[in-house]
Structure 1
Amino acid sequence: MPAARPAPPPGVRPGPPSGGSASSSALGDDLDDRGHPAVDAAVQAMINAASLAPADQIAQYEAAYQTLRETLATIDQS
């Protein structure tokens, strides 16, 4: 069984990063009706990581990357 991956905090909806554009927020708004919960959670974790300190972002991005790799591997096997 794979190790647990960090997930976005419950109830947190991202806003635009300081100094950034609203595109991150728009992407977050589109997540509600997507088709795969693991992919949605990984994307949301990456969006949420934008507000973290750079050192903390690395762990979030690595966890999201691993989740996406595992999800794609599962799809390839079916």
Structure 2
Amino acid sequence: MSAPFRPGPPPGGRPAPPPGPRPGPTVDDAGEARHPAVDAAVQAMANAAALSPADQIPQYEAAYQTLRETLATIDQA
């Protein structure tokens, strides 16, 4: 007779993360290379993770625009 089926990770596997918001990247994860505009955009994305999906979109769009502008200035240098 086989064991009853129990949902979950396989024996010895890692358990699934708990539901809910996951911690996002922080400015400290960036390492030694620093750029104020990039740091602000990364922090804004991390902060947006706690918002509702509808409120996240404008935050992500603003961060995306900041990163595009910053990369454009780096390419021109």
TM-score by length of 1: 0.63
Contact 2:21 2:49 in 1 (8 A): no
Any stretches of 5+ residues in structure 2 without a counterpart? 1-18
Q: Provide the identity percentage.
A: 69
In structure 1, the residue matched to 2:28 is: 30
| Mapped contact 1:31–1:40 kept (Cα < 8 A) | no
Q: Kindly indicate whether the alpha-carbon contact (under 8 Å) linking 2:38 and 2:66 is maintained by their aligned counterparts in 1.
A: yes
Segment of structure 1 superposing worse, 57-66 or 30-39: 30-39
The Cα of 1:28 is off from its aligned counterpart by 1.4
Moved over 4 A (4+): 31-34
Unaligned runs of 5+ in 1: 1-17
User: Is 1:19 aligned to 2:20, yes or no?
Assistant: yes
TM-score by length of 2: 0.64
Larger relative contact order (C-alpha < 8 A, sep ≥ 6)?
Answer: 1
Distance apart, 1:65 and its partner CA: 0.2
Provide the rounded CA distance (Å) in 1 between the counterparts of 2:59 and 2:35.
19
Equivalent residue number for residue 62 of structure 1: 61
Q: Deviations over 1:20-39 (max 9, x none)?
A: 444x2xx3161586510000
